[in-house]
Amino acid sequence: MNDRDIKDLKREIALPYSDQVLALPTQLEEYKSMKDQKQAENNTLKSTDNFSSMINNKKLEDVKAQLTEEITTNSIQENTKQEQLNSEKHTKESQYQDNLKKIDEEFAASKEDQKAKY
């Protein structure tokens, strides 16, 4: 055998039939349609319409953040107002209870005075 023998060299390079990659025409059509679909999707993502929708989404996110902040601020104000009203209520209740005690004491004292007179 000669080192330059082309027939033997081709046999070493060639793959056996079972190792060759075989693709069916339906698979090739599938791959082509998938490729076309992905390219179309890529083009729509790069389009200016998508860019404007991204800008609109950003604006909506900003509005959402602003409204969330306003709600938080309002809820804090409402909680503060509620606490203030509760403290005023407790203060007035204690004043009324003191007044009732004073009236009861005055009544008891006047009752004792009336008993002492008779």
Angle between helices 48-117 and 25-46 (to 10 degrees): 60
Arithmetic mean of pLDDT over the chain: 83
pTM: 0.41
Domains of the chain, residue spans: 87-118
Percent of the chain exceeding pLDDT 90 equals 50
pLDDT of residue 101: 95
Per residue in 29-86, pLDDT tens?
Answer: 888 999 999 998 888 777 777 777 888 889 999 999 999 999 999 999 999 999 999 9
